[in-house]
Structure 1
């Protein structure tokens, strides 16, 4: 008989030829995507059950997944974790993809003061659906005293640049 509280089921993931074995409950509780996936009755040959049958995370990069796990499971790290902007961007990317609401909120909180060019902030905001950053990026671009750079034009596209010029007038 297995103890109902202290018998922890793990899941094995494979990201870029590297195996990760982590507590399954963190994925079930944090993400509707994984919760639904794990509702399927377990069999010994089910993906994620063991090293021979890992849950393949293609095309997820190993480094992004490591960073995601650092944020999700900080107590499991063997050394202190120093998470900077790049690390939290990985967390935002995967928490958005997999619908980890709380972890996504934490990543956004850590990234609120990120140092990026306004056009880049707009692109990141669009990609990860962060309305606050979208407003901040557009506001900074509208208030900018100089003409838009070639990089800003390329990043945002002609349609957005035209709309921003109109807002400046």
Structure 2
């Protein structure tokens, strides 16, 4: 190796494994970590360090960089991801910790860490509708924003004051408008239900929010799936005439459904059977006659 042949000469720094460090202050706590992870993964920190003089970098221990707008509790789990103390011993993190990681990775533009946080939260952590809307809007995750909006707009229960505070009153007002319009347009909301017209109402009401989330997401080079349109896994709509029930089922690939990621074919069939059985029982309880059920391109008369 070149490094061995230069044994008699002055030692040289390894190209990769000779890291400079940086000292940060978060609240009243100091952190000293390698600059390498920050400069190679974040355009925010690359810009920050390029703006510091050699003298400032040399004296950074005595004059640490203060990171505003975050807490020690948020910073610690983020550091566990980018600078793990024991890479071979991964600690299970809570939903709150992964949300902190999503927050900081979005704020500082750690693209790959952001994607990891989104994947983990989608795959392994329960996120209710309000949190989907809140996180989707604040951190530009279009899929979450759409999913949460549809769930809130077409569920049986109206938004509570606390839920309105969580998602913000402007978004809560949009949800209320969609619900009001859907109930006016020939229907009673039940079971996260919708019609194509109601879905169009959602897309129109939230057009600017969906577009802004998608545009912001694109700046992170997020995969297209983060911005894809969301349709409820199934939709049930009752017309005003109790003798007539229109049932519409809409399924997209099981792998796209966070709650059913990794579902086997057999389990997915049980899931489908459960939904169909529920609709039939529901229709019988209302003395309705279900004439046909459509699943994607498949239609079946009953």
TM-score range, shorter chain: 0.7 to 0.9
Q: Which runs of 5+ in 1 are unaligned?
A: none
More deviation in 26-35 or 111-120? 111-120
For 2:174, the equivalent position in structure 1 comes to 160
In the alignment, structure 1 residue 26 sits paired with structure 2 residue 40 = no
Verify the 8 A CA contact 2:95 2:121 in the aligned structure 1: yes
Greater RCO, 1 or 2 (C-alpha within 8 Å, sep 6+): 1
Displacement, 1:147?
Answer: 2.8
Cα distance, 1:53 vs structure 2: 1.4
Q: In the alignment, is residue 108 of structure 1 matched against residue 118 of structure 2?
A: yes
Deviation at 1:71, TM superposition (A): 1.4
SS of residue in 1 equivalent to 2:137: helix
Post-superposition shift, 1:164?
2.7
Task: Give the aligned partner of residue 94 of structure 1.
Answer: 104
User: Could you tell me which residue of structure 2 aligns to residue 142 of structure 1?
Assistant: 153
* CA–CA separation in structure 2 for the residues paired with 1:45 and 1:30: 22
TM-score by length of 1: 0.85
Deviation larger for 6-15 or 79-88: 79-88
Partner of 2:265: none
2:134 pairs with one of 112, 115, 123 = 123
User: Alignment RMSD, CA only?
Assistant: 2.4
Mapped partners of 1:76, 1:53: distance in 2: 29
How far residue 167 of structure 1 moved from its aligned partner, in angstroms, is 4.5
Instruction: Indicate if the aligned counterparts of 2:149 and 2:175 stay in contact, CA closer than 8 A.
Output: no
TM-score by length of 2: 0.50
1:2 Cα offset (Å): 4.2
Please give the residue correspondences for 1:4-83 in structure 2 after superposition, counting only pairs within 5 Å.
4-5=14-15, 6-40=17-51, 42-46=53-57, 49-76=59-86, 80-83=90-93
Report which of the two structures shows the higher radius of gyration computed on alpha carbons.
2
How many residues align? The count is 168
Deviations 1:30-71 (CA, angstroms, capped at 9, x unpaired): 11111112223642334x854311111123211111111011
Divergent runs of 4+, >6 A: none
- Please state how far the C-alpha of 1:76 moved relative to its aligned partner: 4.8
Aligned counterparts of 1:116 and 1:20: Cα–Cα separation in 2? 31
Can you give the 5+ residue segments of structure 2 that lack an aligned partner in the other structure?
Answer: 1-10, 186-302
